Amino acid sequence: MKKLLISVLCAVSLGHTSAVMAQTTWKLATGYRAESFHTQNILQFSRDIEQATAGQLKIQVHPNNTLAKLNDIRQAVVDGKAEAGETIMTSMVKDIPIAGADAVPFVVSSYKDAARLWKLQRPGIEKHFAQRGLILLYTVPWPPQGLHSSKPIRSLADFKGTQMRTYNSTTLRIAELLGAKPVDVAMVDVGKALAEGRMDNMITSALTGVENKVWGAIKYYYEINGWFPKNVVFVSSKSFDALKPEARSAVRKAAAEAEARGWAASESLASSATEELRQNGIRIDRIPPDVELEIKRMGEKFSREWVRTVGNEANQIFVPYYLQ
């Protein structure tokens, strides 16, 4: 009887140990605050996976650069410091040039256009990820980039001599093409720069305008939908392949749902942020037709230059995009 009891206890103990060992935990690093709609979407993604796998796969989300800084997250996953991560696509352009397709200005003008561009861009990104031991899970765009201005814009001449906020090579080039004076201002200093009269206009999302409470100095917001920068969520191939087939299927399903949910959330947020600008006294308007035409011409110019710089992979994105 005593031997039988010991055998049963051993069997229970081994079964418990196997159950514990079967559980897997991934660390997912993101550079964005926990309150960001991107991070909230990731948290829902992790809950969906935990539920679908009955707790056998858990994802610990590390927001706000706590595990790795935004621009270093992809490499951190490659190096095994985290199993999964999220970063903005443009942070990868030095290593993967086609990651910059969604930041070529004035090419897309709607969420529908942005989705079509992503469909063409995705195969190339997946190929480059596979070469680096990564698997793409999903992407979600930020709300589109609009034009904030202290004065009305009726023609391109209204930009000449104005002080335009710039924060990268693209916005610097836009300012130069418009005849504006580029002013390098970090996002955290936007409010101060506006108050001090060091800025007259800037291209950024309505959401960013709300977060920085630009009303007062900014009087107009034009929905030019300049570009739709995207965040990408990915996992190491090694971690993904180590899962059982049913767990891999659960991750893929949750990722597809997160992408659909995230795109819808982005569009809703763009609308609500624009309305908040309106409620705080900013006039919401469309750019005049002749200015819009010139902006589209600038987009064609930027895309041609980008294709020449990146090469054939860029052609595989933009040629079918413009032909469709």
* Low-confidence stretches of the chain (pLDDT beneath 70): 1-22
Rg (CA), the chain: 23
Query: Any idea which fold 22-100+111-142+229-275 has?
Result: D-Maltodextrin-Binding Protein; domain 2 (3.40.190)
Other beta carbons within 10 angstroms of residue 313's beta carbon come to 17
- Residue 20: what pLDDT? 44
Q: What is the pTM for the complete model shown?
A: 0.88
Kindly list the domain boundaries of the chain, sorted by start residue.
22-100+111-142+229-275, 145-226+279-323
What are the residues facing 234 on neighbouring strands? 85, 136
Size of the chain in residues: 324
Paired tokens of 59: 């994802």
Instruction: Give the helix, strand, coil percentages of the chain, each rounded to 5.
Output: 55, 20, 25
CATH code for the domain defined by 145-226+279-323: 3.40.190.170
**Within 13 A of 257's CA, how many CA atoms are on the CB side?**
16
Percent of the chain at pLDDT > 70 equals 93
- Residue 6: what pLDDT? 45
Q: What is the DSSP letter of 219?
A: -
- Residue 264: what pLDDT? 98
Paired tokens of 272: 């609500």
Residues 82 and 73: their CA atoms lie apart, in Å, by 8
- Residue 169: what pLDDT? 80
- Same CATH topology for 22-100+111-142+229-275 and 145-226+279-323? yes
Vertex 186: Cα angle to 73 and 166 (nearest 5): 100
